[in-house]
Structure 1
Amino acid sequence: MSDLLFEVHEHIGIITLNRPDSLNSFSQEMITQWIEALEQIKNNDSIYVGVVTGNGRAFCAGGDTKALRNGEGFMAKTAGEDDDFVDLPLNVKNGLWKHIQRIPLLMENIDKPMIAAINGPAIGAGLDMALMCDIRYASDRAKLGEGYVNAGIVPGDGGGYYLPRLVGVDKALELLWTGKILNADEAKAIGLVTHVIPDDQLMNEVLAFAKRLTNGPQEVIKMTKRIVYESRTMSLKQSLDLVSSFMAIAVHHPDHQEAVKAMNEKRKPQYN
């Protein structure tokens, strides 16, 4: 059985992590398939929204701790590498860069909405994968935390980048330094998740929201996401310059014409 499932339903690309017996911890196969699924979401024009969730009782427990205990994990070799030639520290760095770190880099370039449906524990790199999404729906039985410190390692998959942007530097450092695990309500209180949903209603709520987005003006939704993310590192003048460029495109797009017509006719717009 595949370590990751990917399906497209009504313009929604759904990624399901599929190692339930291992709490959906990463395998090399899962990472490879995850990258392939994200590339599909990014490049397939018939996919409007992406959703990431887990099979079973966990979202993702992060790296495979069994592999770490066996001296594997970050030490996995890449094609063509020679242990007699490659220094072990460099092997770790290149292993991250060539494999799991490709996921946040891909996510950064996906202008379509990405939603995490956190159906259970999201720990360490598993939490980081949820933080990469634009919106996080959490089951009321979810547990969330950055457990890297407990393994004596640093956050390797973007936790040090995403976490302080969501909860602030002080709370981020507290979570990273202590490995503290939060329940869903505690996570929502500090801005780590967007919504907390009863477990049996989680996917229905996520898919209903995703479906609502698929019915919107897709180019405007993508441009709006890009404005928000790019503006985090821009001056006001640069941001307004980007907005004016996107506005010039938007007002000449058929979706704008349909939206104005629908408002005048007092009906819901019908976008292609």
Structure 2
Amino acid sequence: MNPFLLVERDGPVVIATLNRPEERNAISETAHSDEIAAFCAEMTRDATVRAIILTGSGKAFCAGGNVKHMREKIGMFGGSPYTIRNNYRTGIQTIPAALYELEVPVIAAINGPAIGAGLDLACMCDIRIAADTALFAESFVKLGLIPGDGGAWLLPRVIGMPRATQMTLTGETIDAAKALEYGLVTEMLAPEKLMDRARTIAASIAANPGHSTRMAKRLLREGQDMKLGPLLELSAAYQALAHHTAEHEEMIAAFVEKRAPKPF
């Protein structure tokens, strides 16, 4: 079977595409979660990767879980309550854990519906831009379920508790314009312009030293839950590391000499 995640590389930028268009890129198999988690581990090890674009093939970004599998109680939805609990913990819940620990900046290029776990997957990314045809829903309650993959932690941190509460408890679908208003996405574009814009943002990130963007992302993530004092301590430690890099010295020299920095 073809891989669930298609991976391409363009210099320091990696494009990862969810590749089950016939299933609207639903994530319902442990193998899917394993691929994404393994991809994150590989990206962490490769210091030459400076930015990642995550998108979906076909008309959807990600439709969440496979509802047919839920109805038939197969795959991760099969077995006793204990088995299903373990399926979540060792399956789809490995994705937010892996993406949270991934220090490479990730841009979600949301090409179509991002529903349920698909919306949560978008929220696991650092920057979200959307086609004007995209749709968004935290729709678990519409199936008598709850966000099982971290959505109750992720969504409020992206759009704030009041709006996250409304989306979660109603399961309502919002369009790209409303997502832009909510701050769920930072830009809304025509579908044909989406990937070009994602590549431009990725290139802007990748133009900076990888150690700087990785550590800056880590500080942003840790800062969500740390008090100011510990965050300042962590910032001082990271800054001391950054000051002793060749990239820092070259960037400073280029700034002082009013020239473009040499490639690194």
TM-score, with length taken from structure 1? 0.92
Identity of aligned residues (%): 37
How far residue 31 of structure 1 moved from its aligned partner, in angstroms, is: 2.4
Counterpart CA distance in 2 for 1:257 and 1:267 is 14
Q: Find the partner of 1:71 among 63, 70, 73.
A: 73
Which secondary structure state, in structure 2, belongs to the residue aligned with residue 6 of structure 1?
strand
Q: Which amino acid aligns with 2:49?
A: I
Alignment of 1:45-56 (within 5 A): 45-56=47-58
1:125-176 Cα offsets, whole Å, 9 max, x none, are 0110010000001111100111100111110111101111111111111101
Counterpart CA distance in 2 for 1:169 and 1:216 is 33
1:157-206 Cα offsets, whole Å, 9 max, x none, are 11101111111111111101111111111011111112111110000100
Alignment of 1:83-122 (within 5 A): 88-122=80-114
Q: Which amino acid aligns with 1:16?
A: T
> Are positions 1:125 and 2:126 aligned together?
no
Counterpart CA distance in 2 for 1:270 and 1:157 is 43
How far residue 271 of structure 1 moved from its aligned partner, in angstroms, is: 4.2
Q: Which amino acid aligns with 1:114?
A: V
Q: Which amino acid aligns with 1:44?
A: D
Q: Find the partner of 2:203 among 182, 203, 211.
A: 211
Which range moved further: 119-128 or 255-264? 255-264
Counterpart CA distance in 2 for 1:219 and 1:68 is 42
Which range moved further: 167-176 or 32-41? 32-41
Q: Is the 8 A contact 1:116 1:133 kept in 2?
A: yes
Q: Which amino acid aligns with 1:45?
A: A
Counterpart CA distance in 2 for 1:25 and 1:128 is 12
Q: Is the 8 A contact 1:64 1:73 kept in 2?
A: no
Q: Over the residues paired in the alignment, what is the CA RMSD in angstroms? A: 1.4
How far residue 11 of structure 1 moved from its aligned partner, in angstroms, is: 1.7
Matched residues, number: 262
Counterpart CA distance in 1 for 2:99 and 2:110 is 17
Identify the residue that residue 38 of structure 2 maps to in structure 1.
Answer: 36
Which range moved further: 227-236 or 110-119? 227-236
Counterpart CA distance in 1 for 2:150 and 2:262 is 38
Q: Is the 8 A contact 1:25 1:62 kept in 2?
A: yes
Which secondary structure state, in structure 2, belongs to the residue aligned with residue 209 of structure 1?
helix
Q: Is the 8 A contact 2:48 2:210 kept in 1?
A: no
Q: Which amino acid aligns with 1:69?
A: R
Q: Which amino acid aligns with 2:54?
A: V
Alignment of 1:118-267 (within 5 A): 118-267=110-259
Q: Which amino acid aligns with 1:31?
A: S
Counterpart CA distance in 2 for 1:236 and 1:271 is 35
Q: Is the 8 A contact 1:138 1:202 kept in 2?
A: yes
Q: Is the 8 A contact 2:141 2:170 kept in 1?
A: yes
Which secondary structure state, in structure 2, belongs to the residue aligned with residue 232 of structure 1?
coil
Q: Is the 8 A contact 1:123 1:144 kept in 2?
A: yes
Identify the residue that residue 58 of structure 1 maps to in structure 2.
Answer: 60
Gaps of 5+ in 1: 77-82
